[in-house]
Amino acid sequence: MTTARRSDATRAAILEAARERFAEDGYERATIRAIARDAAIDPSMVMRYYGNKEGLFAAASEIDLDLPALGGLPARHIGAVLVTHFLDRWERDDVLTGMLRVGVTNTAGAERMRAVFAEQLGPIARGVCPDPAEAPRRAALVASQVLGMALARYVLRLPPAVEMSTDEVVAWLGPTVQRYLTDPEP
């Protein structure tokens, strides 16, 4: 077991600043110098602790969608529950917005997103959709709608998407997600 180091606070501060900057500015415009300034330390410390910018990004983008277990749930409510959860998760902090920003411009970021959805949304789809072999496709459909709304609402900020209440979003997207997961193939 590893004992606590004196530098752990600094490491954490760097990571937090990095997450914020990556989320706000995307990979290229989030400079190590700006991150270091936010964390109130010298840029060289970032290098010392995380090797290089890619390493920092890898450390800063460990993402947990934190999806709920859907075990005892009535099958026909899954869509609404899932959309509700995604909205919550998206508004809790800006890690997911960051993932989206970085995934779009950076190869490593895109790879990370593929992994996150395959590992965390895939199993859920496998649990509820009619034919487990179709689970990846159905998960991708759900991802397309959920990510699309996140894009419109939190990144592009299309005014009508921003103005909708979370209840309205759930009412509109819930049935869509529900259909993608549980309806027979069209």
Binding partner of 71, given its own copies, DNA, none, CB within 5-8 angstroms per partner class: none
Q: Considering the rule CB under 8 A, would residue 34 count as an interface residue with its own copies?
A: no
User: Is 42 among the residues that bind DNA (CB under 7 A)?
Assistant: yes
Greatest C-alpha distance within the chain: 59
Joined tokens for residue 78: 């899954």
Angle, alpha carbons 33-34-37 (nearest 5°): 85
Residue 158: contacted member of DNA, its own copies, none (CB under 5 to 8 Å, by partner type):
its own copies
How would DSSP label each residue in 71-114?
A: TTS-GGGHHHHHHHHHHHHHHH-SHHHHHHHHHHH-HHHHHHHH
Among DNA, its own copies, none, what does residue 151 contact (CB within 5–8 Å per kind)?
its own copies
Q: Which of 82, 87, 147, 181 binds its own copies (CB under 8 A)?
A: 147
Tell me the number of residues near its own copies by CB under 8 A.
45
Contact positions toward DNA, by CB under 7 A? 5-7, 9-10, 30-34, 40-48, 52-54
